[in-house]
Each structure stands twice: as C-alpha cells, then as structure tokens.
Amino acid sequence: MKLTKNPQEFVDESLLLLNARHSTTIITTSYHAAPTGKGKLTLKTYDPVSGALVKFRTSKIAVVGRLVAGLNRLGRQQAGVSEPTVTETRVAEAPSAPSTYAPIPRQAVTSKSKKKKKKGKS
C-alpha cells in the first residue's frame, strides 16, 4: 500500500497502476462526515490481481477540485480514451475595418461614492 501525500502524486501513481493493469484496476472514492463539520475524502486505486493499492486522504476542501480534475484523467486512462490535444487553428485575418464605436472618454465615466449610508437615516 502506498499512501500518497498530495493529489498530483496520487494521480501519477494511479496512472502508472492503470497503465500496468487497466482491465482489473478499480478506483474508489469515499467520504466520511464528521460531527465537527470537517469530513474526510478518501481515494483508492486498487488492483486485485497484483494487490497494489494507492491511497490518498484529505480533509481540505481546496484539494477536492484538484482531485476531481485528476479523476477525469484517470477515468480517461481506464476507459482507453486518449487525452484531448490542443491543436492550433489559423484564423483567416480579415482586413481591418474602421471601428464605428468611439471609446468612452475617461471624464464621462462616473464612479459611485464609497460612503456607506447609516441605518435609519434617509
């Protein structure tokens, strides 16, 4: 069993395990709520044939977003779908036409007062 320390390490180790045995590897998530309001999220990547296990736990909500993005990558790997690639597309440049809109002068832009109204007074 390998207990990883950060989400990126979990994703990297899980990708290695999925590359080795994608047909038998299982990815599971579980959440355990605590009475204090701070629950724990646990992610596991397990291969029953080899017995390999990669595990990650967190109670930080900011890490959950990174883990969801990582699970997207792992799901693609497990399903055998390739990563989307960024392709460059050339846009035909049209000759620049004169703009019919004039920019707004700085003096014309007004800002709201930052004074707060006191309660009960109008």
pLDDT of residue 55: 94
pLDDT of residue 122: 56
How high is the mean pLDDT in each 10-residue block of the chain (122 residues)? Answer: 86 86 86 83 91 91 76 73 60 50 54 62 58
Question: Of 40, 13, 38, which is closest to residue 27 (Cα–Cα)?
Answer: 13
- Predicted pLDDT of residue 10: 86
CB 36 within 8 A of CB 47: no
What tokens does 99 get?
A: 């703009």
pLDDT of residue 19: 84
pLDDT at 46: 92
Query: HSE on the CB side for 120, CA within 13 Å?
Result: 0
Q: Which two tokens stand for residue 91?
A: 């846009």
Which alpha helices (H) appear in the chain, and where do they start and end? 7-20, 61-79
CATH number of 2-79: 3.30.720.10
What pLDDT is recorded for position 53? 94
